């Protein structure tokens, strides 16, 4: 956990390159992420999103370039970087045999934190999982499992969290629950780098959007700035039909967070 603000961007990426078996995946990536913001890294499958996150989280070495997280060099201070971050992958990394509460206590103990049971109870309450806390995680719905996974990632209060396609495979209701959780993280001051291939997800969540294509960031800015790259819209009066998602949510009705 960082105890004092770091001048400059919370995440800084300069000229990162990475190749596998002669195939270039990252071809000189440059990106800054300011503290307390949500930046969506948008790209199609194979664009290099997960590779970039793995480099930033010290799981993979870059071939060239530099990156810092919370002022610490990813290459020369990996332990300090790992102390400052949490990573949530595409699939919830929960132990299905343990209860939700036991999963949280286990991670708190692995981080050598005092009061692991109290930490678990606080996070269960924060993520609306208190009533489900004594149930085996294997009985949780997709949305509940993902919320538990993110709660586990927050143990130790890391200032930066990487979310690698966190809503993959989730239904619309569970996806909305994850979106709400991500917004709450940023509101609380956590810096979030979110990878996604869903344009709607980036549009709903991100303060800024970076588009990764063929190993490079080809555009980076707010949604309004990206929209300004296209010609001005022509105003037409059209009948707006509800989307299938709107119809689905209207028919099934909202769930409480405990049910999701």
Q: What is the pLDDT of residue 257?
A: 58
Residue 252 pLDDT class (50, 70, 90 cuts): low
Q: What is the pLDDT of residue 255?
A: 62
The winner for highest mean pLDDT among 42-56, 64-78, 150-164, 239-253 is: 64-78
Higher pLDDT, 185 or 121: 121
pLDDT at 186 over 60: yes
Residues 157, 146 contacting (CB under 8 angstroms): no
Domain 11-252 homologous superfamily, CATH: P-loop containing nucleotide triphosphate hydrolases (3.40.50.300)
Mean pLDDT of 101-123: 95
Residue 99 pLDDT class (50, 70, 90 cuts): very high
pLDDT at 67 over 90: yes
Q: What is the pLDDT of residue 16?
A: 97
Mean pLDDT of 53-82: 96
**DSSP code of 90?**
S
Q: What is the pLDDT of residue 3?
A: 46
pLDDT digits (tens, 9 = 90+) for 8-21: 799 999 999 999 99
pLDDT digits (tens, 9 = 90+) for 131-140: 999 999 999 9
Residue 79: phi, psi to the nearest 5? -65, -40
Q: What is the pLDDT of residue 113?
A: 93
Mean pLDDT over the full length of the chain: 88
The domain spans of the chain are: 11-252
Mean pLDDT of 198-220: 91
Q: Assign 3-class secondary structure to the chain.
A: CCCCCCCCCCEEEEEEEEEECCEEEEEEEEEEECCCCEEEEECCCCCCHHHHHHHHCCCCCCCEEEEEECCEECCCCHHHHHHHEEEECCCCCCCCCCEHHHHHHHHHHHCCCCCHHHHHHHHHHHCCCCCCCCCEHHHCCHHHHHHHHHHHHCCCCCCEEEEECCCCCCCHHHHHHHHHHHHHHHHCCCEEEEEECCHHHHHHHCCEEEEEECCEEEEEECHHHHHCCCCCCCCCCCCCCCCHHHHHHHHHCCCCCCCC
Percentage, residues of the chain above pLDDT 70: 89
pTM reported for the whole predicted model:
0.81
Percentage, residues of the chain above pLDDT 90: 57
């Amino acid at each position: 956990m960082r105890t004092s603000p770091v001048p400059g961007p919370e995440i800084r990426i300069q000229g990162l390159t990475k190749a596998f078996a002669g195939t270039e995946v990252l071809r000189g990536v440059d990106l800054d992420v300011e503290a307390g913001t949500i930046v969506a890294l948008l790209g199609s499958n194979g664009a290099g999103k997960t590779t970039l996150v793995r480099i930033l989280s010290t799981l993979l070495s870059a071939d060239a370039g530099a990156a810092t997280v919370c002022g610490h060099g990813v290459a020369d201070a990996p332990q300090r970087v790992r102390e400052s971050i949490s990573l949530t992958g595409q699939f919830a990394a929960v132990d299905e045999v343990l209860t939700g509460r036991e999963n949280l206590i286990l991670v708190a103990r692995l981080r050598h934190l005092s009061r692991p049971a109290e930490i678990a109870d606080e996070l269960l309450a924060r993520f609306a999982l208190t009533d489900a806390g004594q149930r085996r995680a294997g009985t949780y719905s997709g949305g509940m499992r993902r919320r538990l996974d993110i709660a586990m990632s927050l143990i130790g209060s890391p200032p930066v969290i990487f979310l690698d396609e966190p809503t993959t495979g989730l239904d619309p209701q569970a996806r909305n629950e994850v979106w709400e959780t991500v917004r709450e993280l940023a509101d609380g001051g956590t810096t979030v780098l979110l990878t996604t291939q869903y344009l709607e997800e980036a549009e709903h969540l991100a303060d800024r959007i970076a588009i990764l294509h063929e190993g490079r960031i080809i555009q980076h800015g707010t949604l309004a700035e990206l929209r300004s790259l296209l010609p001005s819209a022509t105003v037409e009066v059209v009948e707006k039909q509800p989307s299938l998602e709107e119809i689905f949510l209207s028919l099934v009705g909202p769930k409480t967070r405990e049910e999701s």
